[in-house]
Amino acid sequence: MQPTIFFLSRCFSPIYNHRSDEYGGLAINRARILVEILKVIRKQMPELHISIKINFHDYMAGGVTPQDAQIACKALVEHGIDYIEISANGTSQTGINPMQNEAYFLDFALELKKAVNIPVILVGGHPSMENMTAILNKTPVEYFSLSRPLIREPDLPKRWQAGDLRPSTCISCNNCYGAPGKRCAYER
């Protein structure tokens, strides 16, 4: 049998989770499996750093909402999650331009930071060091997660560290998703 992809995301989404018991219905119920997994891991390995990447939106009618995600995140924080990374269903947005429309999940992160006192990791649309630096300096967001810019240029942090602060040359086209090995579809 093939494993269900994004199984836990589907448990949390009312689009996929139609249970009528304590694991379905309200957001706190749909988050129950996440909390229970966290509790078991925490009990077995009290010192382990545990983080979660969680959808703040399904972008589909009847799906996960930011309010649902806030409820889940608060429950996870109560039970000792260390970090939370913001994400959303099916979203690697295209057409990202440096200093124009970067960090497309920033609003979700800012709302979450008002509700929890643990670090929040912001993924999604970070081609430029300049914009991440501005977010670091002006908001409570402490951490960033990069994907496509690192697929395009695995040595990007090294380049930035060496002082070459030009934005990533990733054009956020998403063609790497269909490329063998999820590599960038274009020559460097």
**Two structure tokens written together for 60:** 């589909």
> Is 174 a binder of ligand SF4 (CB under 6 A)?
yes
The CB-of-156 to ligand SF4 minimum distance in angstroms stands at 11
The residue from 9, 13, 131, 172 that contacts ligand SF4 (CB under 6 A) is: 172
Can residue 185 be called a binding residue for ligand SF4 (CB under 6 A)?
yes
In the bound state with ligand SF4, the residue whose beta carbon lies nearer, of 50 and 171, is 171
Q: Which of 69, 87, 152, 156 binds ligand SF4 (CB under 6 A)?
A: 152
Residue 33 binds to ligand SF4 (criterion: CB under 6 A): no
Phi, psi of 163 (to 5 degrees): 105, -5
CA dist 88 and 90 (Å) reads: 6
- Report the distance separating Cα 84 and Cα 54, nearest Å: 7
137-148 in b/e form (b: 16+ CB < 10 A) is eeeebeebebeb
Do 103 and 124 touch, CB atoms closer than 8 A?
yes
Among 76, 176, 180, 187, indicate the residue that binds ligand SF4 (CB under 6 A): 176
Residues in the chain: 188
Does the footprint of ligand SF4 cover residue 116 (CB under 6 A)? no
Q: Which is nearer to ligand SF4, 7 or 177 (CB)?
A: 177
Beta carbon of residue 172, minimum distance to ligand SF4 (angstroms, whole number) = 5
Paired tokens of 149: 């810019």
What are the CB-based long-range contacts (under 8 Å, 24+) for 169-175?
170/127, 172/92, 172/93, 172/94, 172/95, 172/96, 172/125, 172/127, 172/148, 173/94, 174/92, 174/94, 174/148
Q: Which stretch binds ligand SF4 (CB under 6 A): 46-54, 106-114, 129-137, 164-172?
A: 164-172
Q: How many residues bind ligand SF4 (CB under 6 A)?
A: 13
156 touching ligand SF4, by CB under 6 A: no
Residues at the site binding ligand SF4, with contacts judged by CB under 6 A: 148, 151-152, 170-176, 184-186
